[in-house]
Structure 1
Amino acid sequence: MSKDAAAPPAKKKGGAKKLIIIGAAVALLGGGGAAAGFYAAGSMHKEAGPVEDPNMPRLVKKGEKPEDVAAKYAPAAGEHGEAAETDAEAVEPEHPHKPVDLPSPRNPSAYQATYYQIPAPFTSNMSDSDAFAQISIAASTYYDQRVITAIQTHELAIRSAILMMLAQEQELDLATPQGKERLQGKLVKIINNVLKDRTGYGGVDNVYFTNFVIQ
């Protein structure tokens, strides 16, 4: 009888082992589930990527229209970067973001270039002679219509900055192809600097001479 009475405790001990094993398995499954959850969350976060600033113009792909891209991505009314009011007394709000240079696309052939001819020519005396230069220029951009609109809006500021620069140029420099190329680079920088100061972004990729006379 004593041997039979001792049997039940041994069975109970085995049951305790099963409970421990089951508990460990649940813990492992729970840990694995948590790890999978963290991994999935990390993957989703990685795929989401950075949020692009809606105030910045977008590159225009081949087949798209600059004005359509601008309308699609421009901030809605009431958000930062909205267009100035039509009221003449309204004050245009300052741009809420740090001025940036919009980079040129790595593969320009995949994007649509837009050209804008600045209407009136630029005429200025040379710094080293009595001669004067008269140039007409057009600007190009791979970004949406907001860049061209900014050039039109701030044309007076752009014109003033360009004329001040031209007054410091020398006739001998502008008479050479190398001098004209350097002048192109200066014009791109001047226009982009004015746009960044007024809107927070540049976007002009190049400047082209449509007329160039030194007399």
Structure 2
Amino acid sequence: MSDAKADAGAKKGGGKKKLIIIVGAVALLGGGGAAAGFFAAGGAHKEAISEDPNKPKLVLKGEDPVKIGEEAEAKAKEAEGEAHGASEEHGKGVDLPRPKNPSAYQATYFQIPAPFTSNLIDSDAFAQVSIAVSTYYDQRVIQAVTTHELAIRSAILLMMAQEQEAELSTPKGKEALQAKLLKIINDTLKANTGYGGVDNVYFTNFVIQ
């Protein structure tokens, strides 16, 4: 009888130990999850407050893209002594991401003044297009487009000279050209400023003759 009670007590004690271990593990996991959440939140906060002032910022609806850009430039000048090698990143360049919710941000549009005119490959025809660009970032993106317009224009004309009349005469061909223009403009900006930021390209005139 005593042996049976001892066995029962041992089993009962073992059950308590298992229960304690399980509860401890759950508590540990819960604490780990809370810690992970804390660090994730802290990381997001850190990312938000440590944005590179040398790169354009997204502009919320109702904000002034010129004012946002000027304030960021002022901060960049203040931190200039600490941010060594910022200019060395220009050759690498980064893509400024399109906002996940574009409707929450202010779009700025800019018409490139002169049209682009180029002969087309394997044809006597030529194409003349006028384009505008848009960005959700502050005025530094548009400023960069105007500053580096000659480089952008040269790259676009070289690309257009390789286009075919039959392709550009179709809606699909025009859409493909629009995508190429967007890439060329952003690539040129990245090479010269370290960032892109142009969100879209629009045709304001399109003639093939």
Give me the whole-angstrom Cα distance separating, in 1, the residues matched to 2:97 and 2:156.
22
Cα deviation code 1:25-72 (max 9, x no counterpart)? xxxxxxxxxxxxxx8xx7695574232111110001000111011012
**Corresponding position of 1:79:** 80
Give me the whole-angstrom Cα distance separating, in 2, the residues matched to 1:94 and 1:46.
26
Q: Answer whether contact 1:95 1:199 (CA < 8 A) is retained.
A: no
Give me the whole-angstrom Cα distance separating, in 2, the residues matched to 1:111 and 1:78.
27
Cα gap change, 1:162 to 1:110, in 2 (>3 Å): same
Cα gap change, 1:182 to 1:145, in 2 (>3 Å): same
**Corresponding position of 1:201:** 195
The letter of the residue matching 1:121 is P
Gap runs ≥5 in structure 1: 1-38, 83-92
Give me the whole-angstrom Cα distance separating, in 2, the residues matched to 1:183 and 1:46.
40
Identity across matched positions, percent = 65
Is 1:55 equivalent to 2:49 in the alignment? no
**Bigger Rg, which one:** 1
Cα deviation code 1:151-182 (max 9, x no counterpart)? 00000000000000000000000000000001
**Corresponding position of 1:172:** 166
Give me the whole-angstrom Cα distance separating, in 2, the residues matched to 1:188 and 1:100.
15
Give me the whole-angstrom Cα distance separating, in 2, the residues matched to 1:46 and 1:141.
27
Give me the whole-angstrom Cα distance separating, in 2, the residues matched to 1:48 and 1:176.
47
Give me the whole-angstrom Cα distance separating, in 1, the residues matched to 2:194 and 2:65.
19
Alignment of 1:82-97 (within 5 A): 94-96=87-89
Cα gap change, 1:202 to 1:47, in 2 (>3 Å): closer
The letter of the residue matching 1:64 is E
**Corresponding position of 1:160:** 154
Give me the whole-angstrom Cα distance separating, in 2, the residues matched to 1:143 and 1:157.
21
TM-score by length of 2: 0.73
Runs ≥4 residues deviating over 4 A: 42-48
TM-score by length of 1: 0.71
1:121 to 115, 125, 150: 115
**Corresponding position of 1:210:** 204
Number of residue-to-residue matches in the alignment: 164
Give me the whole-angstrom Cα distance separating, in 1, the residues matched to 2:71 and 2:188.
25
Give me the whole-angstrom Cα distance separating, in 2, the residues matched to 1:112 and 1:45.
27
What is the root-mean-square deviation of aligned Cα atoms in Å?
2.2
